[in-house]
Structure 1
Amino acid sequence: MAKIKLTSAFCRDITCPPHKRKEVYRCTEVIGFGLEVRQSNKTYWLYYTKPDGKAAQVKIGGYTDIPFDVAKRTAKELRSKVVLGGNPAEDKAIRKGTITYKELAQMHIAHAKAHIRSHGCVEMSYRKYLIPEFGGYRIDDVTPHAIETYFAKLRERLAPASVDRLRLVMNRGYKLAKGWRLPGSDLNPVEAVARPKYDNKRTCLLSPKKAERLLTECGKSENTMLKPIAQFALATAARKREILDAKFEHVNMDRCEWLIPHTKNGHPRVVPLSAAAMEVVKALPRKEGCEWMFANPATGKPYVTIKRAWKTATDDAGLPGMHFHDLRHAAIGAMVSNNVSLHVAGKIAGHLRPESTARYAAIADSTLAAAVEAGARNLNLTGKAA
């Protein structure tokens, strides 16, 4: 090993002595900066001492791959990390072992399939949006600014809630990576991404006439099960997937109760069935060997989706843009407007938090106001003020 001030000209002209396998030249100006010269190539290195006192080295790059001034500047930067207690060689090894965002996505999807029922949303978020944008990056190369920029572009064509769902999926993926102690997962870039403010809470109320019109159009659908599905939704305030996956074995005909063993929040619940709901159940066709209440007649299995039939029915009923989930809101709203307490309505709907039912408080308030007015009229108090 020889010590000399490394210059661009020196590195260009120096060759390895014929009788040696290699020769190392250490720079006297930039501590640790060195050039390794072999018969076949030249390589820039940084030689340093690790925090534990052991000697180490990290490759900067080949002489023909990077200019001398870039190699020298990189050596200074790496030297600064060493002075601050860093270990460039270890950092490089960690970075080399860091997986791509696409690989993390595949791991997250596999985890979702094993642990949550609604894993389809996770898979779709990665497949349609996140992998095409970030899949080629290492997980530690995805920056908050890149995420913000992409989400801003998506908001031009997607609802704020849809974009925020992607943020939640990304955040969960990075949290899993940190829990699994994957290289490069120390920092979660999503945590620095501002959560957008939006209000996507819907409180749909259907008048008897609108409900009748909707059910009439559902009855005209090519999907012969659409009307009983909609009727059952209005009668139970259940979620769409809960209804589509309902089984006859979970209905207690004597007690007029329906057990939902698998719900969105993971807690099974029992729903009391009204006379109207029981009429729907009794009228459902039953085929031997079919356990599903609202089975697709063509497959004997639950419907994967009813979007097309639902859109046609709502458009024809003069209710464009109405979501199937609005039937759940309408059912809860109907209960509250008929003096059912928010607590009881929330329990029937399967809300774990009172805040989920709180959106119907305005309906409850209007019902109370109507009750007060009715009482005043009954006592003939109107116009009696002194």
Structure 2
Amino acid sequence: MPKAKLDFTFCLTARCKEGKGKTDFWDTIIQGFVLEVRSTGGKTYYLRYFDQSGRQRQHKLGRYQDISFDQARKLAKRLRAEVVMGGDPAAKKAEKKAIPTYAALAAQHLEHARSYQKSPDNTQSVLQCHLLPRWGKLRLDEIKPQEVAKWLAEKHRDGLAHATVDKIRVIFNRSFELGRQWNIPGCDNNPVRLVPRRRYSNARERYLTTDEAQRLFKALDKSDNPQIKSIVSLLLLTGARKNELLKAEWRHVSLDRKAWLIPTSKTGKSRYVPISQDAIAIMEQLPRWDGCPWLIPNPDTRKPYNTIKRAWDTARCEAGLPDLRLHDLRHSAASFMINAGIDLYAVGRILGHADHQSTMRYSHLANDTLLAAVEAGAARLKGDWLTASR
């Protein structure tokens, strides 16, 4: 075990002993400070020491060509002091090395999402399009709250909707919460949890008027998609969600009972949707194919549509309704029912709301209906009073 006073000149000229694969030179000043010289010419600085259990440990300080002698000596001195105080630099380094990258955690997050989410595509899209490009290569302990907050703010400035940015934040936070539950190193301190959530109002009220509905149907008549008019009509007549209708099967529809069973919905529960006579008339005219179970499939593939975006965008722009979303048809269905005098509870049941809070967004429409009722009552009272006073 050759000993020497390690300095810049000695390390520069040190050579491996002839016939050896490597030679270790131990510093006479800093206990455990070692220069390893290999027969290939490579050199590396180490700190070697005994841990609390008496086992010899080795901590790599750096390769000779990567750090200067002064840097290696200062690092060795600091780590030696840590050892004297009962620390274990090698164990700490091993723990740090065991911390995975966010990409590894994201892969487990997505696998978990696929095991229970009805449609994990949204989670996958956020991970692949937003989170992985920015954070995928970083170890979990390298992701800091300040950087996350700054990045989310940049997303806002780039023009992303508040709801979209918040969804990114929620999924990012979920990754770390899952990692903590799974005892993954580096997830003890969740950097996303410390980023304050921005307050925003995502409420949007857009309802079709009768005139707008007529313009929309005229535009749908010109569409190249032979099913789009039936899809839009049934969305308006049933208040169903888009995916509920696109994945509807004939075996769940009973025209005789005027009922449509939706086996699984956004809330995770099944529900029956009553079918009006107008909806039945549309369903009776839908094309059907042998062996095809779907209510409104793509005629070319005989499978549910992956998207109807192009046909919808063309029709709404043709109708002069560029701000109308497909989901607004669901709101419009609720509006038409409430304005016809149907109470909020019944509307909530038809739409499949999990709680009354979701239906309360239409309460102002119900108030309009009630106001019309009291006005009618007042008018009747006024007429009777005038008749009696004559």
TM-score by length of 1: 0.86
Cα distance per residue 1:157-201 (max 9 Å; x no partner): 311111222222222222233333333332222212222222222
Report deviation, 1:231: 0.9
Q: For residue 142 of structure 1, report the CA deviation from its aligned partner.
A: 2.3
Q: Which residue of 1 aligns with 2:134?
A: 133
Contact 1:202 1:326 in 2 (8 A): no
Structure 1 residues 194 and 69 mapped into 2: Cα distance closer, same or farther (>3 Å)?
farther
CA shift for structure 1 position 378: 1.8
Distance 1:190 1:49, change over 3 A: farther
State how far apart, in whole Å, the 2-side matches of 1:44 and 1:296 are. 67
182, 196, 200: which one aligns with 1:198: 200
Residue type of the partner of 2:34?
L
CA deviation vs aligned residue, 1:1-27 (integer Å, no higher than 9, x gap):
799986556655666777994232264
Q: Secondary structure at the match of 2:369?
A: helix
1:338 is the counterpart of 2:337: no
Distance 2:63 2:111 in 1: 40
Using a 3 Å threshold, how does the CA distance of structure 1 residues 322 and 57 change in structure 2: closer, same or farther?
same
1:305 shift after superposition: 0.3
Distance 1:39 1:133, change over 3 A: closer
2:332 aligned partner, one-letter code: A
Q: Which residue of 1 aligns with 2:271?
A: 269
- Amino acid paired to 2:347: A
Report the equivalent of 2:119: 118
Question: Per the alignment, do residues 325 and 81 of structure 1 end up closer, same or farther by CA in structure 2, a change over 3 Å counting?
Answer: farther
Structure 1: gaps of 5 or more residues: none
CA shift, 1:78, in A, is 4.6
CA distance in 2, matches of 1:250, 1:338: 28
Alignment of 1:1-386 (within 5 A): 8=8, 12=12, 21-25=23-27, 27-28=29-30, 34-40=33-39, 41-47=42-48, 50=51, 55-75=56-76, 78=79, 87-155=88-156, 156-380=158-382
1:54 is displaced (CA, Å) by 5.1
CA distance in 2, matches of 1:191, 1:2: 53
1:2, 1:25 within 8 Å by CA — same for their partners in 2?
no
1:233-282, Cα deviation, whole Å (9 max, x unpaired): 11111111111001110012222111111212222221111222222222
SS at match of 1:190: coil
Say if 2:242 and 2:327, in contact at 8 Å, map to a contact too.
yes
* 2:234–2:279 contact (8 Å) kept in structure 1: yes
Bigger shift: 172-181 or 273-282? 172-181
Inter-partner Cα distance in structure 1 for 2:77 and 2:272: 68
Counterpart amino acid of 1:287?
W
Structure 2 counterpart of 1:337, one-letter code: N
Q: How far has the Cα of 1:297 moved from its partner?
A: 0.8
Contact 2:34 2:48 in 1 (8 A): no
Q: What one-letter code is carried by the residue in structure 1 that aligns with 2:142?
A: D
SS of residue paired to 1:192: coil
Offset of 1:213 from its aligned partner?
A: 1.8
Any conservation in 1 of the 2:239–2:331 contact (CA below 8 Å)? yes
Letter aligned with residue 246 of structure 1: A
Partner SS state of residue 166, structure 1: helix
CA–CA distance in 2 between the matches of 1:197 and 1:83? 51
CA distance in 1, matches of 2:349, 2:53: 61
Which residue identity lines up with residue 199 of structure 2 in the other structure? Answer: K
- Alignment CA distance shift 1:160-1:5 (3 Å): farther
Counterpart contact for 1:51–1:85, Cα < 8 Å: yes
2:208, 2:332 within 8 Å by CA — same for their partners in 1?
yes
Aligned-pair identity in percent equals 41
Distance in 1 of aligned mates of 2:385 and 2:77 = 90
Question: 2-side partners of 1:336 and 1:86: how far apart?
Answer: 71
C-alpha displacement at 1:84, in angstroms? 7.8
The answer to whether the 8 A contact 1:33-1:44 is kept is no
Tell me, yes or no, if the aligned pair for 2:260 and 2:274 is still in contact at 8 Å.
yes
Q: Deviation per CA, 1:314-371: give whole Å up to 9, x if none.
A: 1111111211011111112222333333333222212213322222222223332332
Amino acid paired to 2:176: Y
Give the letter aligned to residue 126 of structure 1: L
Aligned length: 381
Q: For 1:65-90, what per-residue CA distance to the aligned partner results, in whole angstroms no more than 9, with x for missing partners?
A: 21234334544665676688754322
Summarize the Cα distance change of 1:362–1:383 in structure 2 as closer, same or farther, 3 Å threshold.
farther
CA contact (8 A) 1:49 1:55 kept: yes
Q: Compute the TM-score of the two structures, normalised by the length of structure 2.
A: 0.86
Structure-2 separation of matches of 1:82 and 1:259: 69
Amino acid at match of 2:183: R
Report SS of the residue matched to 1:140.
helix
